[in-house]
């Protein structure tokens, strides 16, 4: 019996926020790829700041005007028309859900409130929208990641899910980081990809010269064995829907579905020594991964209210699609 249902990723209904930018269209395209594997319904939401609606609507209406009778209906009708066009262009007919249009003070709050309503299994959104700035992760997207109680899949510019071959799951030996493996395994089963379990041994500075200090007693093989022990303990405690089969070959093993033993996923373990975990994760994923899956709480996450610091930094800097998942503290 599974003790934490939220670790297993079953996608039946997807929420996709859009501001009608090219970046948000990429997120809709990504959701359309997912429906082929999960058969999910896609709903599209458009929520923009209230003051933007005032700015866009006042000039053509002139004065005097009624906010309730003129500005809101005009703006929402325009938004719904655009969403209908997005549905028709980018989502297969049988998977089209409903369009949601709202005037809100904070778009991010509207998105994560609806996402947390209990009707959705996944949010798919662009890392940036029309308000793209120098920040590497858009403010709206970051707030949704922090507050959503369901998984959030972020899609960078010019990225998609059509060429998904390797899924990377960073692991820091915390229970929370291991919980990212169950949804990653579900995705790997559907897409028939390889899973990479990535551990970064953070190296600390020594002396006033601030040169990296490499601990001589840390061996990659020992870390690998500890990773497998932690994974085995997690499986025994949580029953996440898969079993570990060790191959006898270093760093190469398998995860096997408990419901369908013929379904086997190649598991590669990678150990990297680096100064900071998030830099090494970003670099590795950029070179070797097509999707990174992380929990919003890691080793440092328990002391933070909203989001684990390593996950937050990876989300801000990676140019690879990223799935963030949340489990109970």
Tens digit of pLDDT for each residue in 20-77?
Answer: 988 899 999 999 999 999 999 999 999 866 655 444 544 544 444 444 445 566 778 8
Boundary-marking domain end, from 155, 190, 210? 155
**Local confidence band at 103 (pLDDT 50, 70, 90 cut-offs):** confident
Q: Where are the alpha helices (DSSP H) in 139-245?
A: 139-147, 175-178, 181-191, 220-238
pLDDT for position 50:
60
Is residue 147 domain-shared with residue 198, that is, in the same domain?
no
Tell me whether residue 160 is in a domain. no
Is residue 289 domain-shared with residue 176, that is, in the same domain?
yes
Is residue 38 domain-shared with residue 147, that is, in the same domain?
yes
User: Average model confidence (pLDDT) for the chain?
Assistant: 83
Is residue 148 domain-shared with residue 213, that is, in the same domain?
no
**Where is pLDDT greater, at 3 or 153?**
153
Q: Where are the alpha helices (DSSP H) in 39-171?
A: 50-61, 72-90, 107-115, 139-147
pLDDT for position 9:
73
Domain assignment of residue 44, given as a range: 5-155
Contact yes or no for 58/65 (Cβ under 8 A): yes
Residue 203 Cα distances to 6, 178, 215, 275, angstroms: 33, 22, 7, 5
**Local confidence band at 190 (pLDDT 50, 70, 90 cut-offs):** very high
Measured CA to CA, the distance from residue 1 to residue 141 in angstroms comes to 34
**Local confidence band at 130 (pLDDT 50, 70, 90 cut-offs):** low
Tell me whether residue 161 is in a domain. no
pLDDT for position 268:
98
Boundary-marking domain end, from 155, 189, 222? 155
Cα torsion angle, 10, 5, 174, 116, sign: positive
Q: How many domains, in total, are found in the chain?
A: 2
With a pLDDT cut of 90, the percent of the chain lying above it is 57
Boundary-marking domain end, from 136, 155, 174? 155
Half-sphere exposure of 6 (CA within 13 A, CB side): 19
pLDDT for position 285:
96
Tell me whether residue 119 is in a domain. yes
Is residue 120 domain-shared with residue 24, that is, in the same domain?
yes
Tell me whether residue 148 is in a domain. yes
Rounded to an integer, the average pLDDT of 138-153 is: 90
pLDDT for position 270:
97
With a cut of 70, say whether residue 214 has pLDDT above it. no
- How does strand 252-257 pair with strand 264-274? antiparallel
What pTM did the predictor assign?
0.85
Look up residue 133 and give its two tokens: 């700035």
Measured CA to CA, the distance from residue 244 to residue 267 in angstroms comes to 9
Is residue 180 domain-shared with residue 140, that is, in the same domain?
no
- How does strand 166-170 pair with strand 322-325? unpaired
Rounded to an integer, the average pLDDT of 199-225 is: 68
Is residue 177 domain-shared with residue 149, that is, in the same domain?
no
Residue 166 Cα distances to 201, 265, 272, 282, angstroms: 22, 11, 17, 14
Any idea what the CATH number is for the domain that residue 44 is in?
Answer: 3.40.50.620
pLDDT for position 3:
42
Is residue 215 domain-shared with residue 246, that is, in the same domain?
yes
Measured CA to CA, the distance from residue 31 to residue 65 in angstroms comes to 39
pLDDT for position 104:
79
With a cut of 90, say whether residue 118 has pLDDT above it. yes
**Local confidence band at 299 (pLDDT 50, 70, 90 cut-offs):** very low
Contact yes or no for 131/37 (Cβ under 8 A): no
Measured CA to CA, the distance from residue 197 to residue 194 in angstroms comes to 10
Is residue 106 domain-shared with residue 179, that is, in the same domain?
no
């Amino acid at each position: 019996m599974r003790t934490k249902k939220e670790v297993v990723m079953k996608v039946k209904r997807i929420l996709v926020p859009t501001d009608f930018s090219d970046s948000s269209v990429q997120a809709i395209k990504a959701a359309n790829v997912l429906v082929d594997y999960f058969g999910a319904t896609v709903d599209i939401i458009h929520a923009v700041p209230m003051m933007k609606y005032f700015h866009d609507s006042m000039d053509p209406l002139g004065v005097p005007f009624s906010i309730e009778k003129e500005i809101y209906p005009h703006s929402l009708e325009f938004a719904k028309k655009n969403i209908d066009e997005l549905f028709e262009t980018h989502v297969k007919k049988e998977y089209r859900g409903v369009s949601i249009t709202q005037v809100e003070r904070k778009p991010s709050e509207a998105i994560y409130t609806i996402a947390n309503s209990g009707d959705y299994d996944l949010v798919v959104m662009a890392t940036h929208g029309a308000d793209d700035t120098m920040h590497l992760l858009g403010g709206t997207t970051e707030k949704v990641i922090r507050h959503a109680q369901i998984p959030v899949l972020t899609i960078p510019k010019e990225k998609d899910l059509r060429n998904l071959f390797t899924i990377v799951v960073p692991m820091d030996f915390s229970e929370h980081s291991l919980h990212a493996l169950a949804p990653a395994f579900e995705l790997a089963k559907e897409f028939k990809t390889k899973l990479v379990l990535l551990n970064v041994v953070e190296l600390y500075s020594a002396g006033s010269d601030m040169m990296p200090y490499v601990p001589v007693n840390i061996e990659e093989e020992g870390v690998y064995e500890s990773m497998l022990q932690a994974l085995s303990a997690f499986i025994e405690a949580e029953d996440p829907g898969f079993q570990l089969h060790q191959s006898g070959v270093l760093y190469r093993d398998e995860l096997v579905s408990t419901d369908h033993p013929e379904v086997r996923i190649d598991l590669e373990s990678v150990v990297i020594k680096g100064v900071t975990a998030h830099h090494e994760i970003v670099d590795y994923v950029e070179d070797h991964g097509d999707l990174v899956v992380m929990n919003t709480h890691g080793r440092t996450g328990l002391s933070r209210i909203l989001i684990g610091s390593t996950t937050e930094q990876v989300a801000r800097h990676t140019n690879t699609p990223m799935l963030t998942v949340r489990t109970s503290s």
